[in-house]
Structure 1
Amino acid sequence: MRGSLTLIASLAALSSVTQAWLPSQVSRTVTGRRGLTVVEPYSPARRWMLSSKIRGVNLGCLFIIEKWLCPDEWNTIGCSDQNDEFNCVAKLGQEQANSKFQNHWGSWITEDDFDKMNSLNLNAVRIPIGFWMDEGLVGSDEHYPQGGEKYLLDICEMASSHGMYIMLEMHAAPGVQTSDQQFTGHVTTDVEFFNDNNYQRGVDFLTYLTKLVANNNQTRNVGMIGVLNEPERGNSHPDLTSDFYPKAYSAIREAEGNRSDKLHIAFMGTNWGSGDPKQYLPPGYESVAFESHRYQRWDSSVQVKKAAYINDACTNDQTADGETPTLVTEWCIEPPDNVWDPDANEEFYKKWFAAQVIGFEKYAAGWMFWNWKSDLDDWRWDYSKAADALIIPSDLDNMTTNSGACSTGSGSTYGHWP
């Protein structure tokens, strides 16, 4: 989790593999379009990384809508009877779908959202994207909304002008990388990403995304590209690490050109369970980062008890050997369903949020909460609503110092919870 810790004193000792993690020391004070003054890191090279911990949020439901998370928005588009974007577009027809989705892209995240992020002292956003953003990669038998590139550039401009570090992620891959998940854009058991044709389409999409970053001023604060979100776990696709990952790395490096400030290229870390992403990368690879997703609600090794959740949050190291820097790019504060009613357990949720932040900032380079906003009447998946409910404070530094969340209670547990 994050805290008032600086980006680990050991950063100074890191090898050249992670040197691009350091920001430019040049910054400027700018006044945003709504009069909010922020310090915007600025460099002619346009890529930067924070000298403190990443404290960010995901912009989920923007370019990939998940019905479970944003049901009202999904209904507005007209697809309440569909489960994913693929089938929604097939139902509406391309022209009507384009209009509906473009209205959504232009309104879901606004300047007001970034103003609020600034007020809460967040410094980064992760933007999940489907491969269909590059419309030339979509097959004749695939159905996805069109026209997203303009809106991606608009969002990057808003984030950049508010001084936010930006991570772009291939969240939905060609052919689908894991089954029965709305975040892939197509809920299906036919997982077909893991073949030569779709690997190449994935590489082509990452090339497209990198060139978009390299050639547009709006993307000046993009410092990281995530290669692939949550591929299937297990050892059934060894060519993911031996074939796709090294090709993806090389394609991004080639597309960004001969720059001294390389983009960070992020892979799901070894702890995710789909292989060692480092194993087949080219010798001398540089500026590589690793993603961890930490949802305690789905970890059967953690007892569903308040003390166990907080103890685990304070002590669970999400960084695998040799995988520095690691970012915890998805997490939340919802336990298993129907446990610990939020209205009756606010103090616990405050402590649990703080404990996760403290732990992630102790062991990793930062975090990005899932999600910034939703349609749910539940702030446990919604950073903005949780802040309004005073579960999440604006002063994260003070929280990590004074919350007491990771103070030792009786025995070796934390937080004094039953």
Structure 2
Amino acid sequence: MVRRGILTVCLSLAAWLGLGAAVPKADGAQVAGPVNGGGHRFLKVVGTEIREASGTGKTVVWRGTNLGGWLLQEAWMTPMMSGQELPQADEWHLRALLAERFGEATRDRLVSAFQDTWIQEADLDAIQALGLNLVRVPFLYMDLLAEDGSLKAGGTRRLDWIIEACGRRGLYVLLDLHGAPGCQNRWDNSGRINADPQLWKAPRFQDMTVKLWTALAKRYKGNPTVAGYDLLNEPDKAEGADEAAFAAQLNAFYDRLYRAIRAEDPDHILVMEAFPGWQRLGDPAAFHWTNVVYQFHSYAMQAKVGGVDVSQVWTVQRDMVERLLADAQAHRTKFQVPIFVGEFCVFGFEDLWARALAGLNRLGISWAPWTWKVAFGDPERGDAAGFWGLMCHDTGSWPRLTQDDAATLEARWRSHDTATHFSPNPAWTALIQRYASGATDLPPRPEAVRLQVRGRFVGANPLAVPFAPFGTQRDLVPLLVDRDHAADGPADWTAFTLRELGDGTLALQARLNARYLRANLEVAGRLTASSTQVGPPERFRRVDLGDGTFALQTLANGKYVGPDAQGALAAESPVPIPFTLHPLHP
């Protein structure tokens, strides 16, 4: 049953997204100087706080989102391609293929068609309506600089547009160089997948990066909508490079960028990123840096125990949230600068999202989860993967890069606007709206239960691998009737949430990984905590047996659930098997 608050948010977002969709103007008009009523909104760092009115006004905590995938596509989250059509699934190879097939002018037109569509004014209306005050704008150097290092005419067109459009809505913009010349890290989020990022080896790429930031600083000097300049996203060394030497090089390059920008723009906040941890980032006092914010990102995406990926386990993500909060507080104290958690994700664990956002608000730490929209995830079917994007479930048409002609590619890329082809994730948007206001309270955690059958408790254990392939795959966690006491093992391994589906059936969601229990009819009906959506294999009828017990009948095959000969939970019994239910109080 959908809660009224979530439904209201969902309906409201649908209304906001129907307001219209103006696209960026192509005139490249200058955007500089005060907008939105004057300079009272201009931000400056004072101690460990960010304040309005150039540091003399009220404290501002950034609470925002990332416009990921817009000015730098990442194949996992955007409609970059259909099938494996690129040697490397990144924007550099995408543009190279388009130029080879159609020429540079048509390539630019096609890229522009995507960018016209992915983020529009309606997106900004929805972000504003959620109560957020910041958008972090990841961008790729290729739209602004030619490969010879020269500035492209009109290259700032989209940055100009987003700054102007956000200014009209009272939103701040953090400009984030996500993909630097030569690449600052090894991954697709730098624009090109590589094992040897050349920014750190080629002086010409460093010079290009300095030139780019100098030009942007000159252009946006004095603009109060611009919250600051995020100098390099997730800078990382080449594989095998010396850690200490890289840390020294990184801080020296940050210092060079700092001084080049300050020569043109002495007033805007500069943001330096600690990545992958804090060991590389120097003390700002040692470099005489002022008006700076330190940023870090927090993910637990490849946590392995005994060779098994357990990243989508509640306890793993809980530990990450606790580290996030502790890191933010400790390093604000250590460096005496404001801290910004510029990217993070805790998958489908609504209670952990609440814990993270409430905790950051309580500490006065700025935040922006990754990200505004992703192509996958269907919230209407309970897809926890949708927690990567506040907007998700893209129903647009995917391009076929090696087959479609230019007109077809353009039409396909223009079919991915948010208003028409995306759905809001109601649970996540409700949480973001709640904590965008600065709330610090925690909503009640969904009531959970434990299940007992034949004197033993059911557990979802990602480390138990008595039968392949369940235990070797992250999303195929086996359900075992193997605990004499409910407290055996981590508490959340034996906790399940009952989701009444409104048609006389229910689904069981494992608190362990927020996945639904699924009866695999191809493997003797064995149940796994594996589904992100609810269909017949995830639906059960609760049959009251009249003595305080009940049976679970699987909708997919009509069989009853119970332990099989190996102690696994399976939907294979022709007769009811009694379960007892034990409420679990948070």
TM range, smaller chain: 0.7 to 0.9
Residue 389 (structure 1) aligns with: 426
**Mapped contact 1:123–1:163 kept (Cα < 8 A):** yes
Q: CA deviation at 1:249?
A: 0.6
1:111 aligns with 2:121: yes
What percentage of residue pairs aligned between the two structures are identical?
20
Residue 522 (structure 2) aligns with: none
In structure 1, which of residues 60, 64, 79 is the aligned counterpart of residue 68 of structure 2?
Answer: 60
Q: If each structure's strand is expressed as a fraction of its own residues, which one has the higher value?
A: 2
Residue 75 (structure 1) aligns with: 81
Q: CA deviation at 1:374?
A: 1.4
Deviations 1:80-119 (A, max 9, x none): 6752222222222111210011112222111111111122
In structure 1, which of residues 303, 318, 339 is the aligned counterpart of residue 327 of structure 2?
Answer: 318
Residues 171-210 of structure 1 aligned to structure 2 (within 5 Å): 171-179=178-186, 181-195=187-201, 196-210=203-217
Instruction: From the superposition, tell whether residues 414 and 308 of structure 1 become closer, same or farther in structure 2 (CA, over 3 Å).
Output: farther
Structure 1 residues without counterparts, runs of 5 or longer: 1-33, 335-341, 343-348
SS at match of 2:209: helix
Q: CA deviation at 1:156?
A: 1.5
Name the amino acid aligned to 2:173.
Answer: I
Instruction: From the superposition, tell whether residues 204 and 333 of structure 1 become closer, same or farther in structure 2 (CA, over 3 Å).
Output: same
Q: CA deviation at 1:295?
A: 0.8
In structure 2, which of residues 137, 162, 171 is the aligned counterpart of residue 155 of structure 1?
Answer: 162
**Mapped contact 1:172–1:184 kept (Cα < 8 A):** yes
Q: CA deviation at 1:52?
A: 4.0
Q: Distance in 1 between matches of 2:164 and 2:73?
A: 21
Residue 288 (structure 1) aligns with: 292
Residue 145 (structure 2) aligns with: 135
In structure 1, which of residues 41, 47, 58 is the aligned counterpart of residue 42 of structure 2?
Answer: 47
**Mapped contact 2:179–2:191 kept (Cα < 8 A):** yes
Q: CA deviation at 1:273?
A: 4.6
Q: Distance in 1 between matches of 2:352 and 2:294?
A: 24
Residue 14 (structure 1) aligns with: none
Q: CA deviation at 1:197?
A: 2.9
Aligned positions, number:
348
Residue 267 (structure 1) aligns with: 272
- Between 1 and 2, higher relative CO (CA 8 Å, sep ≥ 6) is seen in 1
**Mapped contact 2:389–2:425 kept (Cα < 8 A):** no
Q: CA deviation at 1:387?
A: 5.0
**Mapped contact 1:325–1:364 kept (Cα < 8 A):** no
Name the amino acid aligned to 1:162.
Answer: R
Instruction: From the superposition, tell whether residues 230 and 414 of structure 1 become closer, same or farther in structure 2 (CA, over 3 Å).
Output: farther
1:230 aligns with 2:234: yes
**Mapped contact 2:236–2:275 kept (Cα < 8 A):** no
- Greater mean alpha carbon deviation, residues 87-96 or residues 45-54: 45-54
1:297 aligns with 2:301: yes
Deviations 1:268-325 (A, max 9, x none): 1377256123368643x31010011011334669986424533542463223221520
Instruction: From the superposition, tell whether residues 82 and 322 of structure 1 become closer, same or farther in structure 2 (CA, over 3 Å).
Output: closer
Instruction: From the superposition, tell whether residues 390 and 100 of structure 1 become closer, same or farther in structure 2 (CA, over 3 Å).
Output: same
Structure 2 residues without counterparts, runs of 5 or longer: 1-18, 21-34, 44-50, 53-58, 238-242, 378-384, 393-422, 446-486, 496-510, 513-586
Residues 286-365 of structure 1 aligned to structure 2 (within 5 Å): 286-298=290-302, 305-310=313-318, 312-314=320-322, 316-319=325-328, 320=331, 321-334=334-347, 349-363=349-363, 365=365
Q: CA deviation at 1:189?
A: 1.8
1:251 aligns with 2:260: yes
Q: Distance in 2 between matches of 1:299 and 1:224?
A: 33
Bigger Rg, structure 1 or 2: 2
SS at match of 2:220: helix
1:277 aligns with 2:282: yes
**Mapped contact 1:269–1:323 kept (Cα < 8 A):** no
Residue 91 (structure 1) aligns with: 97
Instruction: From the superposition, tell whether residues 398 and 174 of structure 1 become closer, same or farther in structure 2 (CA, over 3 Å).
Output: closer
Q: Distance in 1 between matches of 2:265 and 2:129?
A: 33
**Mapped contact 2:184–2:235 kept (Cα < 8 A):** yes
Q: Distance in 1 between matches of 2:114 and 2:153?
A: 12
Instruction: From the superposition, tell whether residues 113 and 325 of structure 1 become closer, same or farther in structure 2 (CA, over 3 Å).
Output: same
Name the amino acid aligned to 2:197.
Answer: V
SS at match of 2:199: coil
Instruction: From the superposition, tell whether residues 134 and 277 of structure 1 become closer, same or farther in structure 2 (CA, over 3 Å).
Output: farther
Q: Distance in 2 between matches of 1:414 and 1:326?
A: 33
**Mapped contact 1:63–1:128 kept (Cα < 8 A):** yes
Name the amino acid aligned to 2:314.
Answer: K
Q: Distance in 1 between matches of 2:89 and 2:153?
A: 19
Q: Distance in 2 between matches of 1:175 and 1:398?
A: 39
Name the amino acid aligned to 1:43.
Answer: G
SS at match of 1:224: strand
Deviations 1:112-133 (A, max 9, x none): 1111112211110101112223
SS at match of 2:350: helix
Name the amino acid aligned to 1:255.
Answer: E
**Mapped contact 1:241–1:279 kept (Cα < 8 A):** no
Name the amino acid aligned to 2:235.
Answer: P
Q: Distance in 2 between matches of 1:103 and 1:278?
A: 43
The TM-score normalised by the length of structure 2 is: 0.53
The TM-score normalised by the length of structure 1 is: 0.73
Instruction: From the superposition, tell whether residues 81 and 276 of structure 1 become closer, same or farther in structure 2 (CA, over 3 Å).
Output: closer
- The CA RMSD over aligned residues, in Å, is 3.5
Q: Distance in 1 between matches of 2:168 and 2:140?
A: 24
Name the amino acid aligned to 1:400.
Answer: T
Name the amino acid aligned to 2:117.
Answer: S
Q: CA deviation at 1:352?
A: 1.5
